[in-house]
Every structure is written in structure tokens, then in C-alpha cells.
Amino acid sequence: MKQIQFSRELSSGIQTLLLHKLRSFLTMLGVVFGVGSVVAMLAVGEGASKEALEQIRKLGSHNILISSVKPAEEDTAGTTPSFMSIYGLTYMDHERIAQSFSSVKKNVPVKLVRKEARIGHRAVELRVVGTSDQWFEVIPRPVLGGRTLMQKDLDAKSPVVILTEFGARKLLATRQTIGQTIRIGVDSFTVIGIVKNETGASGAMQIPDREIDAYIPITTAMSYFGDVVIKMSSGSRLREKVELNQIIVQVASLDQVESSARAIERMLSLFHKKKDFQIQVPLALLKQAEATKRTFNIVLGAIAGISLLVGGIGIMNIMLASVTERTREIGIRRAIGAKRKQIIIQFLIEAMVLSFVGGILGLAMGIAIPFFITWFAKMPTVITPMGILLPLCVSLGIGIVFGLYPAARAARVDPIVALRHE
Amino acid sequence: MMPPRSLICLENAKKIYTMGRQQVAALDGMDVAFEKGSFWAVMGSSGSGKSTLMNVIGCLDRLTSGRYLFQGRNISAHTDDALSDIRLRHIGFVFQSFNLIPQLTVQRNIELPLYYLGWDKEKSANHAQNLASMVGLETRLTHRPFELSGGQMQRVAIARALAADPALILADEPTGNLDTRTSDQIMALLGSLHEGGKTIIMVTHESHIAEYAQNRLYMKDGRILKVEKR
């Protein structure tokens, strides 16, 4: 019974609105643009933050990255030709971290050297990463062929190398290359595996691996390449002694990440007079990025919400005009026996139809816009179920909120006065 | 003291409007009873209180003081919803300016009371068609009011007033906007309704229209001037 009544109210409401097609459409337009912009803005916001979060997640949320940084004051001294700057993380630091913190589960030393690699006549400059077997546990990447480093490689200081997919392709190496010899600098290494690499490292923080990495045991790197790097720059030679370029620490649980990072920093500061290292915590960045994302979405949503509000006011305006225009009709209905409640429902339904249909059209627009943004601006956009449901509910809510006052006005009309109304 | 057959009974009915500092008594202590099945013409000059009387009888307005008995029940203190319900079930209105809803078809206009009564679509459509053929408009069901002549519009209004099968028809200058020939047709229609057992109370200022009614009530300054019964 109630349901029949509602569907009849609905159909008569739609019929009334169809009598003034242009007016109804123009009234709806406010909500169309409002909902459209909310959906589109949420999609853009969601897309932008998703990219950033993805980037940070690749770093590993349990990881702490400690990197050697050249202290700022060394720069001027570096002009002296014979000067050798010594800075950065040491083998001792690595030992100390391993021994001092029970929360540290994995502790990976990283030594970076840039060397030219050669297979046959093909030469490519690689970033040679001297590291331990744990690297591949801390930065898990799919193994495409062969194997990764093992403890025995470290113990034996074996001249073995693992290439990345990208580096291998540059060297025209394939899976058949595994087992063959590659020259890095002046030394010969055996290729034992190829791993997949992450591409497009950009964002708040560099991911630890690069496209052109070659992984060798750190023991091998120490004995083959040593700790001193000579950089040639505009005629002057610059010697640097850096034992370890990075230490990647992985802790057991998420809630230990930030406290461990602080403790490691404090401990390292005791042994480093100058600030020649830097600690990065992906988790902290992740949290920060998520907070930024939230703020971003709220701001975007609020701006779009204002246009939705304007749409609602438009509906209220037209409904008020409609109530005045149809005063006589209201009087007739009341005289015939319509209760106040029934008049309220009649006008409320008209307002809700306007806002809901506007909401649907706006949704279509809001889904189309991010599609074009992605197409033309190559910006990622993500439409979440929430991003669809919320504006739809809000548009319906706007119909109720902004329809209620005009409907109440309609119900308050005195039938005697209304019947005299021209 | 009032005859039990009365459909409507007003006892010392007063309606006082406050206009600025002045108080105007539109109804100044009226005692009147309208019997079931009677046909009344209410006459009087403008300002005599006949419109107010109609509004009160039609449950559109409340008395300032006094009692209003409808079918023997005092409804002076009824809520707005309860009065709406009495209008819906027991009173049919016919107005001078027809008061059809312009965007609705003839059929939908006739169906309007049934809509508020909650009748289902098929039943009310059938009923509306029967009523339309009773007033001779079965071919105009899908027309809109502005496509009809004055006489036709008034017949639609009468059909609508009859839809809920009310005991009382209130007609406020039903022929005021019609020519003489059409007026006679409309009055003939009201006359046949009276013969069918409806109680009709009609306001008019044309004496030849008032001739159609069985009884005449003359009003002046919110009081009964005289009553003519046949």
C-alpha cells in the first residue's frame, strides 16, 4: 500500500517535472556539476596518492635505509688536489647495528661502485652493488633465471654476479648468459642469475635498486675494488673513502620500525662526529603520504562539495518558485482532502527526483572526466566504490535537505487563501 | 434541540477576524441546521458572511467559538489532518473558477480524491471513466482542462467532487463563470444529484439560480436574515 503510494507519487512527480523540461534540466545542472566534480576530484586525488603510496610501498614498510652522505663542509676542502675525504658508514657500523638491536631482523650492507661491464663487444656502465645474500630478502624481486647470492659466495669471495633484467638486455644477455663470463672493470665475473627490476623510480624517495644494477658479494667488492673511489672532475682528482654506501635494516614488526630508526640514529651519532649519514624510514613516509592524501582528498572534496551545495541551493530556489507558482494547485489538493504530509511528500519527491537524476548524470560526468584526464594528461585516476556511493547519497540528501523547506512552505499554505490565489 | 436528521448543525457559530485593531465578525452567532438530502441556496450580498459560512462548513476554516456538528459529531476541535479526512471522504467542492489542476488530464483530475484515498490505479481509472460518462465527458478523458469549455470544466469539477461519493456537495457560485444556457445545464446536473440523495449547499447571488434549490438561506452581516423552505 505504502509502496504503491510512493511509486505513484514518484511517477506524478516525474510527470510534473517533465512539464517544464528545460527548467528541470537547468535546475538539475547544478547538482550534475556538483556531483561530477566531487567524483572527478576524488578520482584524481585517489589516483595521485595511490601512485605515491605504491612508490613508497616498494621500499618495504619494515625497512630502514641508512645511507652515507658527504658532509656539507667537506665540499670546500675537496678543492685541495691531494685531499682524500673519508666519510660515511663503516663496516663497524654494520657490525654494531647487528649486535646492538634485537629488533633488527636483517641487516644488509651495501657498497656501490660504478663500473663498465662488458660481454664481448657490448659495454654498459653498471651500478655494481656489493651486498650480502639478505639483499634479496629485504628487497624481494622475482628471479627470472639462475639464483641469487648465497652465504658461500660471500665466504669464498666468489667472482659471481647477478644482473637485472634491464641491465641484461642492455648487454644483450639472455638466460643463456647464466654461467658465462662478464667483465666488470678489469675483473671477470660469472653471471649466476637474472632478477626482475623495478622501473620508473621517481617520487618522494628513491627505491634501493636501480635498473642497471649488478649484484656481487660484498666481500668480493671489498677485495676487488677497495674502499677508495677516485673521481675525476675537470682536471682535478678527488679521492673518497667510503666503506659502505648504505645499510638496509629490516625489523621484525611494523611498530618497531620508527623506534628502531631513532635508536639506530642515536647510536650512530655517537660514532659519527659529523653528520655523514642519513636515515630514511619508508613507513614514516608512508604514514606522511597517507596523511597528506587524506588532507588532499578532504580539501578537494570540500571544494567540490561547495559546488554541490550551490546545486542544492538552486534546487531549493526553483522549488520555492514552484511552490509559489502552484499555490492554487496546493489549495485545490488541500480542499479535496490532501493532508499536509501528503503535500510535503509531493514536493519533497520532486526535489529528490531532481537531485537524484542530477546525481546520476553527474556520476556519469564524474566517471568520464577522470577517464579523459588519464587519457590526455597521463595522470593516474582511481574511482573507488566510495567515490561513487558518497556523492550519490549526498545528492539524494541534498534533495531532501533543500527540498524540505519548500515542501514545508507548500504544506503551510492556507487552502482558503490559496484558492483565491491567481 | 436540533433535528437528528441534520447532516450539518451550527450552534452559536462565531467567526471573528482581527483586522488591525478592528474585529470583524464574519459569522455572528449563527444557529443553522442542514438536513440530509436537502438542497440549499445561500444568498446574500458580498460581505454578508456566506463565503465564511461555506469555508466553515467545508472544514477549510475553524469557528472562533460555537459548535460545528458534522453528522452529529462535534468537529470544532478536530486536527488539521482529521478535517482533511472529512473533506476527503464526506465533502465534494465545486468552485466558481472550476479549480482543476491544469497539468493533469480530465481523468487524473477526477481521480484526485481517489488518489488520496489510496485506491489502486485500475479501480480509480474505472470509477473516473464512469463519472466522466455520467457528466457526458467520456470522450474527453485524456484532454487537459485548458482544452475544454467552461461548462465542460465545471462538469469535470462536479465529477471530481463526486468521486469519493461524499454526502455533501458544496458549490460556491458554480455558474458564476458560465453563460445562461450552460448554467442551466450545470444546475440541471446538480438537481439530478440532489434527486440522487446528495445534500447540496450552494452559494449564489443570482436569484434564478437559487430557484433550483429547495431551500434558501438569506444572510446579512454574519447573521441569518431569513430562511425560505419549500
Question: Does A332 sit within 8 Å of B84, measured CB to CB?
Answer: no
CB proximity B144 to A under 8 Å: no
Tally the C-alpha atoms within 13 A of residue B35's C-alpha that lie toward its C-beta: 13
C-alpha cell at A291: 596523511
- Which chain B residue's Cα is nearest to A420? B97
Give, for B8, the enclosing helix (H) or strand (E). Answer: strand B6-19
The reply to whether residue B118 touches residue A1, judged by beta carbons under 8 angstroms, is yes
Cα A342 from Cα A9, distance rounded (Å) = 9
Angle at A208 between CA A206 and CA A210, to 5 degrees: 85
Q: What's the rounded Cα separation, in Å, for the pair B158 and B155?
A: 5
Query: Based on C-alpha coordinates, what's the Rg of chain A?
Result: 34
Contacts of residue A278, defined as CB under 8 A and 6 or more positions apart, other chains included, come to: A66, A67, A69
Closest-CA residue of chain B to A12: B104
- B81 at A interface, C-beta within 8 A: yes
CA dihedral B202, B203, B209, B211 (to 10 degrees): 70
Domains belonging to chain B, first-starting first, are: 37-50+86-229 (3.40.50.300)
**Whether A65 contacts A335, CB under 8 Å:** no
Distance (Å, rounded) from C-alpha A106 to C-alpha A129?
Answer: 17
Task: Spell out the per-residue pLDDT of chain A, length 422, in tens.
Answer: 456 677 888 888 888 888 889 999 999 998 999 889 888 888 888 887 787 777 777 777 788 888 888 887 655 554 555 567 788 888 888 888 888 888 888 889 998 888 888 888 888 888 899 999 888 888 888 888 888 888 998 898 889 999 888 888 888 777 777 888 888 888 889 989 888 887 654 444 566 777 788 899 999 988 888 888 777 767 677 778 888 998 999 988 888 888 888 889 888 888 888 888 888 888 887 788 788 888 888 888 788 888 888 888 999 999 999 999 999 999 999 999 999 999 999 999 999 999 999 999 999 998 998 888 888 888 888 888 888 888 888 888 989 999 999 999 999 999 998 988 76
Residue B22's φ and ψ, nearest 5 degrees, are: -85, 145
A332 touches chain B (CB under 8 A): yes
- Is A342 within 8 Å of chain B by CB? yes
For chain B, the first-to-last Cα distance in angstroms comes to 22
User: Is some CB atom of chain B closer than 8 A to the CB atom of A158?
Assistant: no
A181-184 and A160-164: which strand pairing? unpaired
Chain A positions touching B160 (Cβ under 8 A) are 336
Share the mean pLDDT of chain B.
91
Whether B84 and A338 lie within 8 Å, measured CB to CB: yes
Q: Residue B18 CA to chain centroid, in angstroms?
A: 26
A8 touches chain B (CB under 8 A): yes
Check CB contact under 8 Å for A336 and B95: no
Q: How far apart, in Å, do the first and last CA atoms of chain A sit?
A: 35
pLDDT of residue A204: 46
Residues in A touching B103 (Cβ below 8 Å): 15-16, 19
pLDDT at A306 (0 to 100): 87
Q: Find the mean pLDDT for residues B139-167.
A: 94
Kindly state whether B164 is in contact with chain A, defined as any CB-CB distance less than 8 angstroms. Answer: yes
Nearest in space to A299 (alpha carbons), one of A55, A33, A44, A53: A44
What is d(CA B191, CA B194) in angstroms, rounded to the nearest whole number?
5
Q: Which of residues 196-255 of A touch B (CB under 8 A)?
A: none
Q: Is the pLDDT of residue B164 over 70?
A: yes
Quick one: DSSP state of residue A320?
A: H
DSSP string, A12-26: HHHHHHHHTHHHHHH
Evaluate whether A128 touches A184 at the Cβ level (below 8 Å): yes
Q: At what angle do helices B106-117 and B150-162 cross, to 10 degrees?
A: 20
Residue B85, CA distances (Å) to A225, A280, B115, B116, B213 in order: 100, 75, 13, 10, 28
C-alpha closest to that of A268 among A129, A104, A111: A104
CA distances from A49 to A230, A292, A327 (A): 41, 8, 52
Neighbouring C-beta atoms of residue A92, cutoff 10 Å: 11
Burial of A77 (0-12, 13-18, 19+ CB in 10 A): exposed
Helix H or strand E encompassing A164: strand A160-164
% chain B with pLDDT above 90: 79
B84 and A8 within 8 Å at the Cβ level: the answer is no
Among partner residues B88, B102, B103, which is closest to A336 by beta-carbon distance? Answer: B88
**Do residues A74 and A181 lie in contact, with contact meaning Cβ atoms separated by under 8 Å?**
no
Cβ-based contacts of B85 with chain A (< 8 Å): 337, 339
State the smallest CA–CA distance between residue B118 and chain A in angstroms: 7
How far apart are alpha carbons A374 and A371 in whole angstroms? 5
Contact B98, B156 (CB under 8 A): yes
- Closest Cβ–Cβ partner in B89, B93, B120 for A335: B93
CA dist., res. B110 & res. B107, Å (int): 5
Q: In the structure grid, which three cell numbers stand for residue B154, read together?
A: 465545471
Whether B60 has a pLDDT exceeding 80, the answer reads yes
**Cβ neighbours of residue A56 closer than 8 Å, sequence gap 6 or more:** A203, A204, A205, A282, A285, A286, A289
User: What value, to the nearest 5°, has the Cα angle with vertex B203 and ends B156 and B10?
Assistant: 115
Residue A157 DSSP code: T
Among A66, A40, A20, smallest CA distance to A305 is for A40
User: Which residues of chain B lie closer than 8 angstroms to A341, CB-CB?
Assistant: 81
Amino acid letter, A103: S
Smallest CA–CA distance from A329 into chain B, residue? B101
Cell of A137: 630478502
User: What does residue B141 show for φ and ψ, rounded to 5 degrees?
Assistant: -60, -35
Q: Which residue of A has its CA nearest to B58?
A: A335
ipTM for the predicted complex comes to: 0.94
Nearest residue in B to A18, CA atom = B103
- Whether B103 sits inside 8 A of A1 (CB atoms) is no
Reported as a single tens digit per residue, the pLDDT across B200-230 is 999 998 889 999 999 999 999 999 999 988 7
Phi, psi at B224, each rounded to 5°:
-80, 125
DSSP, collapsed to helix, strand or coil, labels residue A226 as: coil
Whose CA is closest to B170, among B13, B43, B39, B31? B39
* Identity of the amino acid at A360: I
Q: Tell me if A419 sits within 8 A of B95, measured CB to CB.
A: yes
Q: Which residue has the cell 624517495?
A: A205
The reply to whether B82 touches chain A by the CB within 8 Å rule is no
Chain B residues with CB under 8 Å of A408 CB are: none
CA atoms within 13 A on the CB side of A281: 17
Residue of A11, A336, A350, A416 to mutate, interface with B, max B Cβ within 10 Å: A336
Alpha-carbon distance A5 to nearest alpha carbon in chain B (angstroms): 7
How far apart CA A17 and CA A317 sit, in angstroms, is 15
Predicted confidence at residue A11, as pLDDT, reads 85
Report the chain B residue with the minimal C-alpha distance to residue A328. B99
Grid cell of A314 as nine digits = 538552486
Contact B116 A342 (CB under 8 A): yes
At a CB cut-off of 8 Å and minimum separation 6, what does A339 contact?
B80, B81, B84, B85, B116
- How many residues are there in chain A? 422
Q: How far is A9 from chain B (nearest CA, A)?
A: 10
Query: Could you tell me if A171 and A126 are in contact, meaning their C-beta atoms sit under 8 angstroms apart?
Result: no
The one-letter code for the residue type at A190 is: T
Question: What confidence score (pLDDT) does residue B129 get?
Answer: 95
pTM above 0.90, yes or no: no
Shortest distance between the Cα of A346 and any Cα of chain B, in A, equals 12
Backbone Cα Rg of chain B:
18
- Beta strands B168-172 and B199-203 are parallel
Q: Give the pLDDT confidence score for residue A3 in this predicted structure.
A: 62
Q: Check if A340 contacts B (Cβ < 8 Å).
A: yes
Tell me: the pLDDT tens digits for A250-309? 988 888 888 888 889 888 888 888 888 888 888 887 788 788 888 888 888 788 888 888
Contact residues, chain B, for A16 at CB < 8 Å: 103
The C-alpha cell of B140 is what? 474527453
CB of B17 within 8 Å of a chain A CB? The answer is no
